[in-house]
Structures are given as structure tokens and as C-alpha cells.
Structure 1
Amino acid sequence: MLALFDVIFFVQYIYVFLILGLYILEVYVIVQQERNRNQFRTPFFKLFVIGAILDINFELLASVIHRIPMSPIMNGIYAGYEPSVAMSILYGVVYYLPAAQEYLNIFIALNRLTAIVFNAHHKTIWTYLTPTSIVFILSAPFVSVWYLFVCPIISIPVRENNETYYIITADVTNNFPGISPPLRTAFLIIGGATICLLLYSVTALWLRFVPGMSKVEVDKRLFYFGATLFVFNIPCATLQMTLFLLGPTIDNLFFAYKCIPWLVDVKSLLPPILLFVYNKSIRNKIYEMLSFKQRVVDRSMSRTVASRV
């Protein structure tokens, strides 16, 4: 009989691959349509594509660190695990990707603010800010996670309900005693969330009290996209802060590893769902690609003909 975490493991992979499929489809639509210089040729969608690359790679690579070790039917490969340079690099990349996403969220919030508050100058601002933001997003995370690329990654077995689970973590205490990974992560997430909160608050107040905002309906919807994403990032920040306050004991780490896959899925898989919900153009393009519209038209026409007969 499968253990509970094995069932969870397979359930997670079902929705992960379904949503990643939607993510990839949206990126394809944006990249293809961008060549035609249409509505997707904007800084927001460039940032969205960068975020998609980060999220998709994270979901695929993080399974080695977060999912497989918590699945008794799959985690036997860690029984004889020995630290290696390859694992250190993989672990570093897995923590680099969400760190980059935090900086990306700030620039998405800034993009929404300029689109609504400085609408007349938005295009000019982002002509210069887009390349700068991309360079910053991809380089700044190394300040937070550099030590993970050179730190030995260890495997800690944990027994629960006659099943063995593994915590894959960096041996920071013995190699970098002055560094607290939960504190660094919490500072990054909370700091980024605070900046995003300020930016979204200013934008929301502008939408609420400044007349004439009906002219920027598309920008308003993309603002809702970013604001919703910000709200759903809060639980992940809360977990990291709690882990820091309670201390990274084995029990606390084990509890965190039970929660992490769900929380990082919300963080990484929510953007394609939100874009699909809030952006009609994306929905229409996807419907066209999947021929949904044609099927609907054909079905409605057949009903009309049948009613006339």
C-alpha cells in the first residue's frame, strides 16, 4: 500500500505538469505574437517570460530536493547518498531561482505602478528600465545564495510511521557558521514583499481616487494579476520566518519539508493561472490554438440549424 506522501507525490505531479503545460503554452503565445508587434510586445510580458523560465526550471529541479526525498516509494536513491559538487550546484540553483523570482516580483509591481500612475511616460521609462531590470533580476540573487554553491549538501534520514524520509539540506552550520539560510530567505521574501506592498498600495490608491482610470482597463487587470500573486506569496515568507524563529532543528526542518512543496507550487504555478484568468487576449489566443472557438461556433451553428429544421 502506498504511503500518504507517495499519494501526495503523484497528485502533485499531476497538477504540476498540467499547469506547467499551460505555462509553456502562454510563453509560446507571447513569444510568437511578440514577433508580430502586437499587444504582447510590452515590458510586462517580457518580465512574465523571464518569470516563466525561472518557475519552470525551479519546478523541475526542486523535485530532486523537495519532492522525491519525501516519497518513500521514490527516495531509495538517497539511502547511500554522498555529498558531491554536482549536488551543491543543483542545490544552489534551486535556491537561486526563487530568489530571482522575488526580485522579479518587485519589478512587476513597479511596472504596474508606472503603467497606471505614469501612463503617459510608461513606455519611455521601460525602454531603459527593461534591460536593467533583467540584468538585476538574474544577478542580484547570488548575493543571497552564493554560499550554497560551495557548501556540502547532506541527507538526513527521518523515520515516521515506519517509513523513511530524507531531508536534503546544506551543511551550513559546519561550513559557514555565521550564516542563517532561513534568516536570509526570510529577509529576502519579507523585504521584497514590503516593497511590493508599498508599490501596489500606491497603485491601488491611484486607481481608487484618480478619475479617468477606465482608459487603462488592461493595465488594471495586470495590476490585479501582480497584487494577487503578492498575496499568495505571503505563506511562503511566513514559513521561512517561522523556521528562523523556532530554529532549524530536525523536527522543524521535517515539518517545513512537508509544507514546502505546496507553498512553492503556489508561488511558482500561480502566475500562468492568474494570467489566464485576468488577461482576455491570452485566453483568446490559447482558445484559438486549441481550436476551442471553432468547436463552440460549430456547435452553436449546428444547434441553430437543428432548431430551424
Structure 2
Amino acid sequence: NAIVHFKDFTSSYYFFFVLCGVISLINEFNINIGTRLPLCPDVNSFYGTVDWIKQGPFPSLLFAFGHFFGAVHEFINVFIAINRATSIIAPRSHEKIWKYGIPISCAILVILGVVGSWHLFDTPTKFIGIPHEGKVYFIMLPDSRKHPEISNSRNAAITSIVSPVISVSLYTISICFLRKKWKLKIVRTEFSLLLLGLTSMLLGLPLAFQQLYFFMNKAISDEEVMILFQMLPWLFDLRFFSPTLLVLATDSNMRDKFLGMFGGKTEVSILIPSNHTVTSLQMWSWLLILYTIYVPIFIALWIVEICLVIFHRKDFTSSYYFFFVLCGVISLINEFNINVGTRLPLCPEVNSVYGTVDWIQHGPFPSLLYAFGHFFGAVHVFINVFIAINRATAIIAPHSHEKIWRYGIPIACVLLVGLGVVGSWHLFDTPTKFIDIPHDGKVFFVMLPDSRKHPEITNSRNSAITSVVSPVISISLYTTSIYFLRRKWKLKILRTEFSLLLLGLSSMLLSLPLTFQQLYWFMNPDIGDEEVMRLFQMLPWLFDLRFFAPTLLVLATDSIMREKFLGMF
């Protein structure tokens, strides 16, 4: 789509987007052949019976190209971060820089790919069978005797660390410059692309943590190797496929072209004055259809998983699952709140009631909706903190873990209510109403509380503090847990707890894009209506990412949940 409509995608960013897509497809082909199929006992027999597949040039080249294109993809994210930084810090020189920067970056990407993989092209590699729970799995193993001075796990760990460190630094600098350097129209476009690049990078972090864990624990057993390898296809998919959805969520240009493929007649909202012409309302119709399809699916998935834990509670014995169920219930409440208070008011086809029905437009209804949104939002954020504490005690103090949480669960519930009240008590008596914002020939509605009621309290500051404190505490606890993981536990327990640790960590990471949005809002209190609309239009997608992500992550990481879920069919 970007190539066909290249005249509409003029930013140099899109070169890297297309390049990232091509490299992602190559990597996915490599992963499916070299990792996913060998880990499927139903179809992997030929990896042990066909000689040219089992050993020789085929697995050697597969392994070498996997490392080459994997490194190239990793450093494409760095160049995307550099591209976003120059577009914001040096906007007038940006296109001139990248006229020469693109060919230079291509040469550097090839060199960086070669640096991390050259030794593998002449290293004998073969598929070896690993019996595990009555089945045989195959993994690629290079002959370490060929180049004993080079460690593949070390190279992968260095690449996985260097790329996010550089990227996060550049994105942080860019966000600091964002409000000071540019006109509003440019800010709107570049902020969207900045968020796209930042979020894509964040979704690659779970794989980075896996690579780092692999490197830090060299004496791992076959059992643990299998756990790590079984995670790989899911982690690779998260890294390579996530930009396809994120670009539709953040980039209105791509969204317009994509939805334009499906045609449709334009419509006019009854709230838009007759002298306004609407040219792209069909986009919102397709968005509404998309919401109507996927939101109920994920809500049903949450309900099914909660019921599985409750009905099979003898199999879900870890205290972690209490917080999983609680997280699910709070997520469903938050989704109801988001759909009624944020998503529907941003859909011009159906939002007329927010401007015509008095009890919806102002009064107790929007006031309670706004207050409960902040209350349950804060509760959800701090549930992630208690999940991190739960995972930390499970690994650092395994023998006392269940005893701690016998009393810890009721204490946690009280604290969650207290923390929710602290951030929202003032909103329950604050008049709130839906206000209309004309934008691009359409009318949207957003909730606005009366700041005169409690002028000493800033909602954006509270949201920013909550959004920052939770990840800082959680990341510290997960880092400590990973450090202790290899030293403290027996293998059988390690396998279960490592899976739940990865689940909690991944869920927390997928809430970070919303954190950055809240932080940006707080740092820039004087933003205009245009930018307010851009931030509001991002909210439904960012909330869905936070509240629905655990439904898929638990199936990817937790074998007990996966077995119970598949057993339904």
C-alpha cells in the first residue's frame, strides 16, 4: 500500500517501514521453517529423517541468515529512532539528511548484519532431536568448535540490549523536543510516527529479555532449553507482526488508504452543520465495524479464561491466578467504561446522543463515568505492581510464598481500593460533561471535568504519576526476580513460575504505550484542540492493548491455561 501510494507517503520514515516489512517477512519465513515447524511434533519428523534437511548447507544457511536478518531488523529500529529524532530536533534539515542518510544506513545495516553472523556461514549446523514429555522436538545447533572464540548467545544479547538502549534514549530526547520545535500540523503527523516507532520497539522487548536470560544462564538444562525455544515463535511474531496493526492504529494516512480499499459511500453526521462537507466518514464506519468485531471477541475470551480458572481452581493453585482473575474483572469494567465514555463519543456515526440527550451530556452520568474510569484505571495499574510482587516472592522466597500471600491477598485488595480512591475521590463530586469538538468536518465528543471544583488537583498529573510509578516498581521487581531465577528453584517449579513471570512482564510492557501517552499529555498542558484530538483518538487502541493483551499472552505462556482452553474444543 505504501509503495502503490508513494506520493502520499512522503516522509523518509516510510522507507524504513517498507524495509522493516520486507525483513520481517524474510524473518518470518526463516522462523517458520527453522523454529516453528521443528517444534510441532505432528509435522516435524522429516527434520530427523531427511538428510539434506537434518544437516548440511540447508540448516547452516538457515541459521546464518536467521542471525543476519534478525540483526538487520533489530538495527532498523535504531535507524527509525534516529529518523524520528532528526524529524523533531532538526525538522528543516530532516529530508536533506535522509537523502544521503538512507543509502548510508542501508550499507551500515548490511555491515552490522554481517558482523554478527559471518562466522555462521561456514559453521556446520544441524537439527538435533530433544525428547520431551513423550514427544520429540527439533532445534538447530551450530558446531561451536568451528569458531570457539565467538558466542552466539552473547552476540544476540548484545544486539538485543544495544538497540533498545539507543532507541529509548533517542525517543526520550525527541519527546522532550517535540513541543518546543514544531508547528501543530507537523507535530500531529510526526507524533503519530514517533508513537508507532516507539511502540514497535517496546513490543520487541520480550524477545530481548528472553535472549538476555539465555545468555546469563549458560548452564541451563534441556528442560529449560525447551521452555525458551517454545516461547520463540510467539516472541518473534510479536516483534515482526506488531507494526502491521500499530501503523493502522497510529497513522491516519495509512488507515485512510487501507480502508479506502473497501470503498463505501460518504455520510454526514446529523450534528455537523450543513455547510461542512464530509469526505472520509466511511473510515470511521470501518473503524466502528472493526471495534464491533474484535472487542466482543476479546471480552468473551476474558470471560472464558476467568471461568476456566474458577471452575478448574484445583489446577490453577498459584496465588498468581487470583490477580489474573481480578485483572480480568477490572479490565472488563474498564472496557465498558472506555466503550461508553471514550470509544463511542469518538465515532461520529453513533455519537449524536452525547450532544442531544441531557442526562448523557451532563449530570451524574458523565461525572460517575469519569470518576469510576480513573478509579478502576488506577486499580488496574497497581494490580500489575502486585503481580510483580507476587512473582518476586515466588522466586526469591519460594518456601514462604504461599504463606505470604495467604495474608497478602486481602491486604493487597484493601491497598488497591485505597490507591484507587486516592487518585479519584475528588472526581465523584466534580461536575463533568461531554463537550463537542469539530474536527476535519466531523463532530467528536470528549469528557471534560470542571477543574474549578478542585483546582489544587491535576488529573493529568495524577495519571502521569500512576502510569510512571507502576512500571518503575514492576520493572525493578522483575529484574530482581530474573536475577534470582536460576539460583533458587527446582526445575519443575522453575518452568511454571518462569512462564507466569514472562506473562506478568509482557502484560506490563504492553501497557507502556499508554504510559507514554499519559506522560506526554502531562508534560504538555497547553496543547491545542488538534493535538488533543490526536491523543484522544489513540486512547481506545492504547486501552485495548493494555486490557486485552493478557488474554492472548496467557495462552502463549501458560501451558495449564492453554490445555484447559483447547480442551473445550
TM over 0.5: yes
CA shift at 1:211, angstroms?
6.4
Counterpart for residue 299 of structure 1: none
Amino acid corresponding to residue 68 of structure 1 in structure 2: L
Does the 8 Å contact 1:246/1:252 carry over to 2? no
CA shift at 1:54, angstroms?
0.4
Counterpart for residue 296 of structure 1: none
Does the 8 Å contact 2:387/2:504 carry over to 1? yes
Q: Tell me the secondary structure at the aligned position of residue 167 of structure 1.
A: strand
1:284 matched to 2:560? no
Does the 8 Å contact 1:183/1:244 carry over to 2? yes
Alpha carbons of 1:86 and 1:79: their partners in 2 closer, same or farther (altered >3 Å)?
closer
1:224 and 1:165 mapped to 2: Cα distance? 39
Counterpart for residue 167 of structure 1: 446
1:275 matched to 2:554? yes
Does the 8 Å contact 1:9/1:67 carry over to 2? no
* TM-score w.r.t. length of structure 2: 0.49
Counterpart for residue 190 of structure 1: 468
Counterpart for residue 161 of structure 2: none
Alpha carbons of 1:211 and 1:91: their partners in 2 closer, same or farther (altered >3 Å)?
closer
* TM-score w.r.t. length of structure 1: 0.88
2:533 and 2:422 mapped to 1: Cα distance? 27
Counterpart for residue 47 of structure 1: 323
2:297 and 2:490 mapped to 1: Cα distance? 36
1:23 matched to 2:333? no
Alpha carbons of 1:227 and 1:213: their partners in 2 closer, same or farther (altered >3 Å)?
farther
Q: Tell me the secondary structure at the aligned position of residue 175 of structure 1.
A: coil
Residue among 84, 90, 98 paired with 2:363: 84
| Range moving further from structure 2, 20-29 or 149-158 | 149-158
Residue among 487, 496, 512 paired with 1:210: 487
Amino acid corresponding to residue 268 of structure 1 in structure 2: F
Counterpart for residue 122 of structure 1: 401
1:266 matched to 2:545? yes
Counterpart for residue 80 of structure 2: none
Structure with greater proportional helix content: 1
Counterpart for residue 219 of structure 1: 497
CA shift at 1:41, angstroms?
2.9
CA shift at 1:138, angstroms?
2.6
Q: Tell me the secondary structure at the aligned position of residue 496 of structure 2.
A: helix
Counterpart for residue 53 of structure 2: none
In structure 2, the gaps of 5 or more residues are 1-265, 267-280
CA shift at 1:124, angstroms?
1.1
Q: Tell me the secondary structure at the aligned position of residue 312 of structure 2.
A: helix
Residue among 55, 71, 81 paired with 2:347: 71
1:140 and 1:7 mapped to 2: Cα distance? 38
1:287 and 1:131 mapped to 2: Cα distance? 32
Counterpart for residue 6 of structure 1: 285
Q: Equivalences for 1:107-146 in 2 at 5 Å?
A: 107-146=386-425
Counterpart for residue 458 of structure 2: 180
Does the 8 Å contact 1:243/1:252 carry over to 2? no
1:181 and 1:157 mapped to 2: Cα distance? 20
Does the 8 Å contact 2:395/2:489 carry over to 1? no
2:518 and 2:558 mapped to 1: Cα distance? 32
CA shift at 1:86, angstroms?
2.5
Amino acid corresponding to residue 53 of structure 1 in structure 2: V
Residue among 522, 525, 530 paired with 1:247: 525
1:211 and 1:29 mapped to 2: Cα distance? 30
Does the 8 Å contact 2:344/2:350 carry over to 1? yes
Q: Tell me the secondary structure at the aligned position of residue 456 of structure 2.
A: coil
Does the 8 Å contact 2:514/2:543 carry over to 1? yes
1:158 and 1:98 mapped to 2: Cα distance? 25
Q: Which has the higher contact order (CA 8 A, sep 6+)?
A: 1
1:14-70 alpha-carbon deviations (Å, 9 max, x no partner): 111111111100110110112xxx231331111111111100111112211111111
Amino acid corresponding to residue 318 of structure 2 in structure 1: T
- What's the % identity of the aligned pairs? 23
Alpha carbons of 1:105 and 1:129: their partners in 2 closer, same or farther (altered >3 Å)?
same
In structure 1, the gaps of 5 or more residues are 292-309
CA shift at 1:230, angstroms?
1.4
2:473 and 2:286 mapped to 1: Cα distance? 38
1:3 and 1:178 mapped to 2: Cα distance? 43
1:267 and 1:102 mapped to 2: Cα distance? 9
Query: For the aligned residues, what is the CA RMSD?
Result: 1.6
